[in-house]
Amino acid sequence: MATSISDVTPRQMAPVIAASTVGTAIEWYDFFLYGTMATLVFPTVFFPKSSTFIGTLLAFFTFLVGFIARPIGGAIFGHLGDRIGRKSTLVATLLLMGIATLLIGFLPGYATLGAVAALILVVLRFCQGLGVGGEWGGSVLLAMEYGHRRNRGFWASWPQMGVPIGLILSTVAVNLVQSPGKDFLLSIGWRIPFFVSALLIAIGLYIRLRILETPLFAKVLAEGRTAKAPIAEAFRRSSPEIALSAGARFVEQAPFYLFTTFVITYGKILGLSNSLLLNGITLAAIIELFTIPYFGRLSDTVGRRLWYLIGCGIMAAFAFPYFLLLNSKVGVLVLLAIVLSVALCHAWVYGPQAALIAERFGTRSRYSGASLGYQLAAPFAGGLAPIIALLLLNGKNDLSALGLSGVKVNIGAGSWQAVSVYILVLAAISFFSVLGLRELTNADISGETPEAQVAPAAGQINAPA
Protein backbone atom coordinates (compact mmCIF):
# COMPACT_ATOMS: atom_id res chain seq x y z
CA MET A 1 0.00 0.00 0.00
CA ALA A 2 1.32 3.44 -0.94
CA THR A 3 2.24 5.92 1.72
CA SER A 4 -0.33 8.62 2.36
CA ILE A 5 0.55 12.29 2.18
CA SER A 6 0.19 12.73 5.92
CA ASP A 7 2.44 9.72 6.64
CA VAL A 8 5.49 11.07 4.78
CA THR A 9 8.43 11.84 7.07
CA PRO A 10 11.95 13.17 6.40
CA ARG A 11 13.35 9.68 7.03
CA GLN A 12 11.26 8.33 4.15
CA MET A 13 12.90 10.75 1.73
CA ALA A 14 16.23 8.86 1.81
CA PRO A 15 15.15 5.78 -0.21
CA VAL A 16 13.07 7.98 -2.50
CA ILE A 17 16.04 10.21 -3.26
CA ALA A 18 18.24 7.16 -3.77
CA ALA A 19 15.78 5.60 -6.21
CA SER A 20 15.36 8.76 -8.25
CA THR A 21 19.00 9.85 -8.25
CA VAL A 22 20.73 6.48 -8.76
CA GLY A 23 18.43 5.50 -11.61
CA THR A 24 18.86 8.87 -13.29
CA ALA A 25 22.63 8.69 -12.88
CA ILE A 26 22.70 5.32 -14.63
CA GLU A 27 20.61 6.56 -17.54
CA TRP A 28 22.79 9.64 -17.95
CA TYR A 29 25.92 7.49 -17.77
CA ASP A 30 24.59 5.63 -20.79
CA PHE A 31 23.61 8.82 -22.60
CA PHE A 32 26.90 10.66 -21.97
CA LEU A 33 28.99 7.61 -22.75
CA TYR A 34 27.51 7.63 -26.23
CA GLY A 35 28.25 11.35 -26.62
CA THR A 36 31.91 10.93 -25.69
CA MET A 37 32.37 7.89 -27.93
CA ALA A 38 30.67 9.81 -30.76
CA THR A 39 33.60 12.21 -30.54
CA LEU A 40 36.48 9.81 -29.92
CA VAL A 41 35.57 6.48 -31.55
CA PHE A 42 32.46 6.33 -33.72
CA PRO A 43 33.84 8.37 -36.65
CA THR A 44 36.51 5.68 -37.10
CA VAL A 45 34.47 2.59 -36.20
CA PHE A 46 31.20 3.40 -37.98
CA PHE A 47 32.13 6.06 -40.59
CA PRO A 48 35.69 5.19 -41.68
CA LYS A 49 35.18 6.09 -45.36
CA SER A 50 34.51 9.74 -44.52
CA SER A 51 36.95 12.56 -43.84
CA THR A 52 37.66 13.33 -40.20
CA PHE A 53 35.26 16.27 -40.27
CA ILE A 54 32.45 14.42 -42.06
CA GLY A 55 32.89 11.37 -39.82
CA THR A 56 32.65 13.54 -36.71
CA LEU A 57 29.64 15.36 -38.15
CA LEU A 58 27.88 12.07 -38.94
CA ALA A 59 28.63 10.80 -35.42
CA PHE A 60 27.11 14.00 -34.01
CA PHE A 61 24.02 13.44 -36.16
CA THR A 62 23.58 10.02 -34.54
CA PHE A 63 23.98 11.90 -31.26
CA LEU A 64 21.15 14.20 -32.40
CA VAL A 65 18.84 11.23 -33.00
CA GLY A 66 18.73 10.62 -29.26
CA PHE A 67 17.49 14.16 -28.71
CA ILE A 68 14.83 13.83 -31.40
CA ALA A 69 13.55 10.74 -29.57
CA ARG A 70 13.38 12.44 -26.18
CA PRO A 71 10.10 14.35 -26.70
CA ILE A 72 8.55 11.15 -28.06
CA GLY A 73 9.75 9.26 -25.00
CA GLY A 74 8.43 12.05 -22.81
CA ALA A 75 4.99 11.74 -24.41
CA ILE A 76 4.85 7.92 -24.28
CA PHE A 77 6.13 7.50 -20.74
CA GLY A 78 4.42 10.67 -19.54
CA HIS A 79 1.11 9.11 -20.56
CA LEU A 80 1.99 5.87 -18.78
CA GLY A 81 3.24 7.70 -15.70
CA ASP A 82 -0.01 9.62 -15.38
CA ARG A 83 -2.11 6.51 -16.01
CA ILE A 84 -0.42 3.63 -14.16
CA GLY A 85 2.04 5.39 -11.85
CA ARG A 86 5.49 6.91 -11.51
CA LYS A 87 7.24 3.84 -10.10
CA SER A 88 6.25 1.31 -12.80
CA THR A 89 7.10 3.76 -15.57
CA LEU A 90 10.53 4.46 -14.13
CA VAL A 91 11.32 0.75 -14.10
CA ALA A 92 10.39 0.57 -17.81
CA THR A 93 12.56 3.55 -18.79
CA LEU A 94 15.57 2.10 -16.97
CA LEU A 95 15.18 -1.26 -18.72
CA LEU A 96 14.83 0.34 -22.16
CA MET A 97 17.90 2.50 -21.69
CA GLY A 98 20.00 -0.33 -20.29
CA ILE A 99 19.19 -2.84 -23.01
CA ALA A 100 19.87 -0.33 -25.79
CA THR A 101 23.21 0.64 -24.26
CA LEU A 102 24.29 -2.97 -23.80
CA LEU A 103 23.46 -3.77 -27.43
CA ILE A 104 25.61 -0.85 -28.62
CA GLY A 105 28.52 -2.53 -26.89
CA PHE A 106 27.94 -5.70 -28.92
CA LEU A 107 27.36 -3.90 -32.25
CA PRO A 108 29.92 -4.77 -34.98
CA GLY A 109 31.46 -1.82 -36.81
CA TYR A 110 31.59 -0.75 -40.45
CA ALA A 111 34.29 -3.33 -41.25
CA THR A 112 31.81 -6.14 -40.50
CA LEU A 113 28.37 -4.82 -41.40
CA GLY A 114 29.10 -1.84 -43.60
CA ALA A 115 26.51 0.95 -43.57
CA VAL A 116 24.05 -1.36 -41.76
CA ALA A 117 26.15 -0.94 -38.61
CA ALA A 118 25.56 2.80 -38.63
CA LEU A 119 21.83 2.25 -39.21
CA ILE A 120 21.55 -0.09 -36.22
CA LEU A 121 23.53 2.41 -34.15
CA VAL A 122 20.95 5.09 -35.00
CA VAL A 123 18.08 2.79 -33.95
CA LEU A 124 19.73 1.99 -30.62
CA ARG A 125 20.49 5.66 -30.04
CA PHE A 126 16.82 6.40 -30.70
CA CYS A 127 15.88 3.86 -28.01
CA GLN A 128 18.29 5.55 -25.61
CA GLY A 129 16.54 8.84 -26.32
CA LEU A 130 13.13 7.31 -25.63
CA GLY A 131 14.36 6.07 -22.25
CA VAL A 132 15.88 9.39 -21.21
CA GLY A 133 12.79 11.21 -22.46
CA GLY A 134 10.63 9.29 -20.01
CA GLU A 135 13.16 9.10 -17.20
CA TRP A 136 13.50 12.76 -16.24
CA GLY A 137 9.84 13.48 -15.52
CA GLY A 138 9.37 10.38 -13.41
CA SER A 139 12.53 10.73 -11.34
CA VAL A 140 11.85 14.39 -10.59
CA LEU A 141 8.23 13.71 -9.65
CA LEU A 142 9.30 10.82 -7.46
CA ALA A 143 11.34 13.24 -5.34
CA MET A 144 9.11 16.30 -5.61
CA GLU A 145 5.77 14.61 -4.95
CA TYR A 146 7.09 13.08 -1.75
CA GLY A 147 8.65 16.34 -0.52
CA HIS A 148 6.15 18.69 -2.15
CA ARG A 149 5.14 20.63 0.96
CA ARG A 150 8.54 22.09 1.72
CA ASN A 151 11.70 22.93 -0.20
CA ARG A 152 10.65 21.54 -3.57
CA GLY A 153 13.64 23.14 -5.25
CA PHE A 154 15.99 21.27 -2.92
CA TRP A 155 14.33 17.85 -3.14
CA ALA A 156 13.71 18.01 -6.90
CA SER A 157 17.36 18.97 -7.48
CA TRP A 158 18.59 15.57 -6.29
CA PRO A 159 17.56 13.69 -9.44
CA GLN A 160 19.30 16.48 -11.36
CA MET A 161 22.54 15.28 -9.79
CA GLY A 162 22.16 12.18 -11.92
CA VAL A 163 23.69 14.31 -14.68
CA PRO A 164 27.07 15.02 -13.04
CA ILE A 165 27.17 11.51 -11.53
CA GLY A 166 26.56 9.99 -14.95
CA LEU A 167 29.11 12.36 -16.43
CA ILE A 168 31.70 11.37 -13.84
CA LEU A 169 31.10 7.66 -14.39
CA SER A 170 31.25 7.96 -18.18
CA THR A 171 34.38 10.13 -18.31
CA VAL A 172 36.20 7.91 -15.79
CA ALA A 173 35.24 4.85 -17.83
CA VAL A 174 36.45 6.45 -21.06
CA ASN A 175 39.70 7.56 -19.42
CA LEU A 176 40.35 4.00 -18.24
CA VAL A 177 39.76 2.33 -21.59
CA GLN A 178 41.74 4.89 -23.57
CA SER A 179 44.79 4.74 -21.29
CA PRO A 180 46.26 1.54 -22.91
CA GLY A 181 46.40 3.36 -26.24
CA LYS A 182 44.38 4.25 -29.33
CA ASP A 183 44.52 0.76 -30.87
CA PHE A 184 43.01 -0.82 -27.77
CA LEU A 185 40.34 1.89 -27.57
CA LEU A 186 39.27 1.44 -31.20
CA SER A 187 39.24 -2.37 -31.04
CA ILE A 188 37.66 -3.63 -27.81
CA GLY A 189 38.26 -0.86 -25.29
CA TRP A 190 35.34 1.36 -26.28
CA ARG A 191 32.88 -1.51 -25.79
CA ILE A 192 33.77 -2.20 -22.15
CA PRO A 193 31.95 0.83 -20.64
CA PHE A 194 28.80 -0.19 -22.54
CA PHE A 195 29.02 -3.69 -21.04
CA VAL A 196 29.42 -2.21 -17.54
CA SER A 197 26.02 -0.58 -18.00
CA ALA A 198 24.33 -3.97 -17.48
CA LEU A 199 25.63 -4.15 -13.90
CA LEU A 200 24.57 -0.57 -13.19
CA ILE A 201 21.07 -1.25 -14.52
CA ALA A 202 20.70 -4.24 -12.18
CA ILE A 203 21.60 -2.03 -9.21
CA GLY A 204 19.14 0.65 -10.32
CA LEU A 205 16.31 -1.83 -10.76
CA TYR A 206 16.90 -3.31 -7.30
CA ILE A 207 16.59 0.13 -5.70
CA ARG A 208 13.56 1.24 -7.71
CA LEU A 209 11.55 -1.91 -7.18
CA ARG A 210 11.73 -1.39 -3.41
CA ILE A 211 10.03 2.02 -3.27
CA LEU A 212 6.32 2.90 -3.06
CA GLU A 213 4.21 5.08 -5.33
CA THR A 214 4.34 8.83 -4.59
CA PRO A 215 1.74 10.03 -2.05
CA LEU A 216 0.21 12.61 -4.39
CA PHE A 217 -0.33 10.17 -7.26
CA ALA A 218 -1.36 7.34 -4.93
CA LYS A 219 -4.18 9.60 -3.74
CA VAL A 220 -5.27 10.22 -7.35
CA LEU A 221 -5.28 6.45 -8.00
CA ALA A 222 -7.20 5.69 -4.81
CA GLU A 223 -9.88 8.23 -5.69
CA GLY A 224 -10.14 7.04 -9.30
CA ARG A 225 -9.22 10.48 -10.66
CA THR A 226 -6.53 9.53 -13.19
CA ALA A 227 -6.76 11.42 -16.46
CA LYS A 228 -7.96 9.42 -19.46
CA ALA A 229 -5.82 11.48 -21.81
CA PRO A 230 -3.14 13.18 -19.65
CA ILE A 231 -1.21 14.67 -22.58
CA ALA A 232 -4.36 16.31 -23.94
CA GLU A 233 -5.22 17.54 -20.46
CA ALA A 234 -1.73 19.00 -20.00
CA PHE A 235 -1.99 20.91 -23.27
CA ARG A 236 -5.54 22.03 -22.53
CA ARG A 237 -4.71 23.37 -19.08
CA SER A 238 -1.08 24.44 -19.51
CA SER A 239 -0.04 24.99 -23.15
CA PRO A 240 1.76 28.30 -22.42
CA GLU A 241 3.63 26.70 -19.50
CA ILE A 242 4.79 23.80 -21.70
CA ALA A 243 6.11 26.16 -24.38
CA LEU A 244 7.76 28.55 -21.92
CA SER A 245 9.29 25.66 -19.97
CA ALA A 246 10.87 24.42 -23.20
CA GLY A 247 12.23 27.91 -23.85
CA ALA A 248 13.63 28.09 -20.33
CA ARG A 249 15.82 25.07 -21.07
CA PHE A 250 17.83 26.64 -23.91
CA VAL A 251 20.22 28.42 -21.54
CA GLU A 252 21.01 25.16 -19.78
CA GLN A 253 20.89 22.36 -22.30
CA ALA A 254 22.77 23.62 -25.35
CA PRO A 255 25.67 25.17 -23.40
CA PHE A 256 25.96 21.99 -21.33
CA TYR A 257 26.64 19.88 -24.42
CA LEU A 258 29.07 22.49 -25.66
CA PHE A 259 30.84 22.39 -22.28
CA THR A 260 30.99 18.60 -22.00
CA THR A 261 30.85 17.08 -25.50
CA PHE A 262 31.88 19.69 -28.04
CA VAL A 263 34.75 20.89 -25.85
CA ILE A 264 36.55 17.62 -26.62
CA THR A 265 36.41 18.34 -30.34
CA TYR A 266 37.44 21.97 -29.78
CA GLY A 267 40.28 20.81 -27.56
CA LYS A 268 41.57 18.59 -30.38
CA ILE A 269 41.66 21.62 -32.66
CA LEU A 270 43.64 23.55 -30.03
CA GLY A 271 46.00 20.61 -29.54
CA LEU A 272 44.93 19.92 -25.95
CA SER A 273 45.14 16.38 -24.60
CA ASN A 274 42.01 14.29 -24.17
CA SER A 275 43.11 13.47 -20.64
CA LEU A 276 43.25 17.15 -19.65
CA LEU A 277 39.76 17.75 -21.03
CA LEU A 278 38.22 14.61 -19.56
CA ASN A 279 39.84 15.26 -16.19
CA GLY A 280 38.50 18.80 -16.28
CA ILE A 281 35.00 17.57 -17.04
CA THR A 282 35.25 15.02 -14.22
CA LEU A 283 36.42 17.67 -11.74
CA ALA A 284 33.63 20.01 -12.81
CA ALA A 285 31.04 17.27 -12.40
CA ILE A 286 32.32 16.44 -8.90
CA ILE A 287 31.95 20.06 -7.82
CA GLU A 288 28.52 20.23 -9.46
CA LEU A 289 27.37 17.44 -7.14
CA PHE A 290 27.42 20.09 -4.42
CA THR A 291 26.36 23.18 -6.36
CA ILE A 292 23.21 21.63 -7.88
CA PRO A 293 21.43 20.91 -4.57
CA TYR A 294 22.81 24.10 -3.03
CA PHE A 295 21.42 26.25 -5.83
CA GLY A 296 18.17 24.28 -5.75
CA ARG A 297 17.84 25.05 -2.05
CA LEU A 298 18.66 28.74 -2.54
CA SER A 299 15.90 28.93 -5.13
CA ASP A 300 13.45 27.95 -2.36
CA THR A 301 14.51 31.09 -0.51
CA VAL A 302 15.11 33.57 -3.32
CA GLY A 303 12.33 32.34 -5.59
CA ARG A 304 12.93 30.08 -8.57
CA ARG A 305 11.93 32.59 -11.23
CA LEU A 306 14.30 35.31 -10.00
CA TRP A 307 17.13 32.83 -9.40
CA TYR A 308 16.76 31.43 -12.92
CA LEU A 309 16.73 34.90 -14.52
CA ILE A 310 19.98 35.73 -12.75
CA GLY A 311 21.41 32.44 -14.04
CA CYS A 312 20.60 33.44 -17.61
CA GLY A 313 22.64 36.60 -17.09
CA ILE A 314 25.58 34.65 -15.64
CA MET A 315 25.61 32.26 -18.61
CA ALA A 316 25.59 35.19 -21.04
CA ALA A 317 28.40 36.95 -19.17
CA PHE A 318 30.62 33.84 -19.37
CA ALA A 319 30.12 33.19 -23.11
CA PHE A 320 33.27 35.03 -24.22
CA PRO A 321 35.55 34.45 -21.19
CA TYR A 322 34.95 30.69 -21.57
CA PHE A 323 36.65 30.52 -24.96
CA LEU A 324 39.35 33.00 -23.99
CA LEU A 325 40.36 30.70 -21.15
CA LEU A 326 40.36 27.64 -23.44
CA ASN A 327 42.31 29.45 -26.15
CA SER A 328 45.08 30.25 -23.66
CA LYS A 329 46.04 26.54 -23.83
CA VAL A 330 47.32 26.89 -20.25
CA GLY A 331 46.29 23.79 -18.31
CA VAL A 332 45.12 25.60 -15.18
CA LEU A 333 43.09 28.12 -17.18
CA VAL A 334 41.56 25.37 -19.32
CA LEU A 335 40.49 23.55 -16.16
CA LEU A 336 39.09 26.80 -14.76
CA ALA A 337 37.02 27.33 -17.92
CA ILE A 338 35.56 23.82 -17.73
CA VAL A 339 34.83 23.98 -14.00
CA LEU A 340 33.15 27.39 -14.11
CA SER A 341 31.10 26.49 -17.17
CA VAL A 342 29.65 23.34 -15.62
CA ALA A 343 29.76 23.75 -11.82
CA LEU A 344 28.67 27.41 -11.78
CA CYS A 345 26.94 28.51 -14.99
CA HIS A 346 25.14 25.24 -15.70
CA ALA A 347 24.40 24.29 -12.08
CA TRP A 348 22.95 27.75 -11.34
CA VAL A 349 19.98 27.07 -13.61
CA TYR A 350 19.96 23.28 -13.58
CA GLY A 351 19.60 22.96 -9.81
CA PRO A 352 16.20 24.72 -9.56
CA GLN A 353 15.07 23.78 -13.07
CA ALA A 354 13.28 20.55 -12.11
CA ALA A 355 10.99 22.26 -9.62
CA LEU A 356 10.59 25.33 -11.86
CA ILE A 357 9.09 23.13 -14.60
CA ALA A 358 7.32 20.36 -12.67
CA GLU A 359 5.42 22.60 -10.24
CA ARG A 360 3.55 24.21 -13.17
CA PHE A 361 1.22 21.20 -13.62
CA GLY A 362 -1.53 19.45 -11.66
CA THR A 363 -0.97 15.94 -10.30
CA ARG A 364 -3.22 14.19 -12.86
CA SER A 365 -1.13 15.34 -15.82
CA ARG A 366 2.15 16.40 -14.19
CA TYR A 367 4.27 13.58 -15.64
CA SER A 368 3.07 14.41 -19.18
CA GLY A 369 3.24 18.18 -18.83
CA ALA A 370 6.63 18.30 -17.13
CA SER A 371 8.14 15.75 -19.53
CA LEU A 372 6.93 17.62 -22.59
CA GLY A 373 8.01 20.99 -21.22
CA TYR A 374 11.44 19.58 -20.47
CA GLN A 375 11.99 17.40 -23.54
CA LEU A 376 10.59 19.57 -26.35
CA ALA A 377 13.72 21.68 -26.19
CA ALA A 378 15.99 18.64 -26.56
CA PRO A 379 16.28 18.39 -30.38
CA PHE A 380 16.89 22.11 -30.81
CA ALA A 381 18.83 23.09 -27.71
CA GLY A 382 20.71 19.83 -27.12
CA GLY A 383 21.25 17.67 -30.18
CA LEU A 384 21.96 20.52 -32.57
CA ALA A 385 24.38 22.37 -30.29
CA PRO A 386 27.56 20.36 -31.06
CA ILE A 387 26.67 20.32 -34.78
CA ILE A 388 26.14 24.08 -34.95
CA ALA A 389 29.36 24.73 -33.05
CA LEU A 390 31.33 22.32 -35.26
CA LEU A 391 30.08 24.04 -38.40
CA LEU A 392 30.99 27.45 -36.97
CA LEU A 393 34.52 26.33 -36.16
CA ASN A 394 35.53 24.29 -39.18
CA GLY A 395 37.71 25.54 -42.04
CA LYS A 396 36.85 25.82 -45.72
CA ASN A 397 38.61 22.62 -46.85
CA ASP A 398 36.38 20.31 -44.87
CA LEU A 399 33.29 22.40 -45.51
CA SER A 400 33.90 21.91 -49.23
CA ALA A 401 32.90 18.30 -48.72
CA LEU A 402 29.49 19.59 -47.72
CA GLY A 403 29.18 21.73 -50.82
CA LEU A 404 30.03 24.88 -48.86
CA SER A 405 33.26 25.79 -50.59
CA GLY A 406 32.51 29.50 -50.41
CA VAL A 407 32.48 29.49 -46.62
CA LYS A 408 35.79 30.63 -45.15
CA VAL A 409 35.74 30.03 -41.44
CA ASN A 410 38.60 29.08 -39.14
CA ILE A 411 39.77 29.74 -35.63
CA GLY A 412 42.14 32.43 -36.81
CA ALA A 413 39.21 34.29 -38.32
CA GLY A 414 37.53 34.32 -34.92
CA SER A 415 34.92 31.62 -35.36
CA TRP A 416 34.92 30.93 -31.62
CA GLN A 417 33.31 34.34 -31.18
CA ALA A 418 30.37 33.09 -33.25
CA VAL A 419 29.91 30.21 -30.79
CA SER A 420 29.96 32.74 -27.94
CA VAL A 421 27.25 34.75 -29.68
CA TYR A 422 25.30 31.51 -30.05
CA ILE A 423 25.44 31.09 -26.26
CA LEU A 424 24.23 34.69 -25.81
CA VAL A 425 21.23 33.99 -28.04
CA LEU A 426 20.39 30.86 -26.05
CA ALA A 427 20.55 32.81 -22.79
CA ALA A 428 18.25 35.50 -24.19
CA ILE A 429 15.65 32.93 -25.33
CA SER A 430 15.50 31.46 -21.83
CA PHE A 431 15.48 34.83 -20.08
CA PHE A 432 12.38 36.02 -21.93
CA SER A 433 10.72 32.59 -21.58
CA VAL A 434 11.12 32.62 -17.79
CA LEU A 435 9.79 36.18 -17.68
CA GLY A 436 6.51 34.74 -18.95
CA LEU A 437 6.23 32.14 -16.16
CA ARG A 438 4.45 32.65 -12.85
CA GLU A 439 6.34 32.46 -9.58
CA LEU A 440 5.20 29.20 -7.96
CA THR A 441 7.94 28.61 -5.39
CA ASN A 442 5.46 28.55 -2.50
CA ALA A 443 2.43 27.27 -4.39
CA ASP A 444 0.25 24.34 -3.32
CA ILE A 445 0.72 21.73 -6.07
CA SER A 446 -1.45 18.94 -4.65
CA GLY A 447 -4.58 19.77 -6.67
CA GLU A 448 -5.70 19.90 -10.29
CA THR A 449 -3.77 23.13 -10.85
CA PRO A 450 -1.03 24.80 -8.75
CA GLU A 451 -2.29 27.50 -6.40
CA ALA A 452 0.22 30.32 -6.68
CA GLN A 453 1.79 32.21 -3.81
CA VAL A 454 0.49 30.28 -0.83
CA ALA A 455 2.24 31.79 2.18
CA PRO A 456 4.90 29.44 3.62
CA ALA A 457 4.85 28.38 7.24
CA ALA A 458 7.35 30.00 9.57
CA GLY A 459 10.82 28.67 8.91
CA GLN A 460 9.56 26.53 6.04
CA ILE A 461 12.20 27.36 3.47
CA ASN A 462 15.23 27.70 5.67
CA ALA A 463 15.90 24.00 6.17
CA PRO A 464 15.00 20.88 4.23
CA ALA A 465 12.06 18.83 5.44
Q: Where are the domains of the chain?
A: 8-435
pLDDT in tens, 337-382: 999 999 999 999 999 999 999 888 888 888 888 888 888 887 777 7
**What DSSP string runs through 144-155?**
HHHS-SS-HHHH
Distances (CA, A) of 291 to 29, 313, 319, 402: 19, 18, 20, 42
Q: What is the pLDDT of residue 148?
A: 61
Q: Please give the mean pLDDT across all residues of the chain.
A: 82
pLDDT band at 459 (very low <50, low <70, confident <90, very high): very low
pLDDT in tens, 244-299: 999 999 999 899 989 988 898 888 888 998 889 989 998 999 999 999 999 999 99
Q: What is the pLDDT of residue 337?
A: 96
Note the helical H segments in 189-229: 192-208, 215-222
CA nearest 86: which of 37, 182, 19, 33? Answer: 19
Report the predicted TM-score, pTM, of the whole model to 2 decimal places.
Answer: 0.80
Q: What is the pLDDT of residue 129?
A: 87
**What DSSP string runs through 237-260?**
HHHHHHHHHHHHTHHHHHHHHIII
For the beta carbon of residue 403, count every other beta carbon within 10 angstroms.
8
The residues with which 83 forms a beta bridge, in sequence order, are none
Q: What is the pLDDT of residue 462?
A: 38
Residue 457 has pLDDT above 60, yes or no: no
Most confident among 6-15, 202-211, 341-350 (mean pLDDT): 341-350
Q: What is the pLDDT of residue 310?
A: 97
User: Helix %, strand %, coil % for the chain, to 5?
Assistant: 80, 0, 20
The percentage of the chain sitting over the pLDDT mark of 70, rounded to a whole number, equals 86
Buried b (16+ CB within 10 A) or exposed e, 380-393: bbbbbbbbbbbbbb
**What DSSP string runs through 349-385?**
HHHHHHHHHHTTS-GGGHHHHHHHHHHTTIIIIIIHH
Longest dimension (CA), the chain: 67
Q: Within its chain, how far is the Cα of 389 from the centroid? A: 18
Q: What is the pLDDT of residue 255?
A: 93
Determine the angle formed by the axes of helices 115-146 and 347-358, rounding to 10 degrees. 70
Residue 403 has pLDDT above 50, yes or no: no
Q: What is the pLDDT of residue 444?
A: 73
The CATH number of 8-435, from 3.40.50.620, 1.20.1600.10, 1.20.1250.20, 1.10.1060.10, is 1.20.1250.20
Say which range, 227-231, 262-266, 350-354, 389-393, has the weakest mean pLDDT.
389-393
**What DSSP string runs through 33-102?**
HHHHHHHHTHHHHT-TTS-HHHHHHHHHHHHHHHHHHHHHHHHHHHHHHHHT-HHHHHHHHHHHHHHHHH
- Residue of 155 and 392 predicted with greater confidence: 155
The answer to whether the beta carbons of residues 54 and 46 sit under 8 Å apart is no
For the residues 326-330, what does the mean pLDDT come to?
Answer: 93
Determine the Cα–Cα distance for residues 430 and 377; give it in Å rounded to an integer.
Answer: 11
Specify the DSSP element, H or E, that contains 231: helix 230-248
Q: What is the pLDDT of residue 6?
A: 43
Residue 405 has pLDDT above 50, yes or no: no
Q: What is the pLDDT of residue 48?
A: 81
For the beta carbon of residue 206, count every other beta carbon within 10 angstroms.
11
Is 111 buried (19+), middle (13-18) or exposed (0-12) by CB count in 10 A?
A: exposed
CA nearest 445: which of 224, 141, 232? Answer: 141
The percentage of the chain sitting over the pLDDT mark of 90, rounded to a whole number, equals 29
Phi, psi of 155, deg, nearest 5: -65, -40
Q: What is the pLDDT of residue 392?
A: 77
pLDDT band at 401 (very low <50, low <70, confident <90, very high): very low
The answer to whether the beta carbons of residues 379 and 68 sit under 8 Å apart is yes
Residue 463 has pLDDT above 70, yes or no: no
CA nearest 150: which of 359, 438, 313, 351? Answer: 359
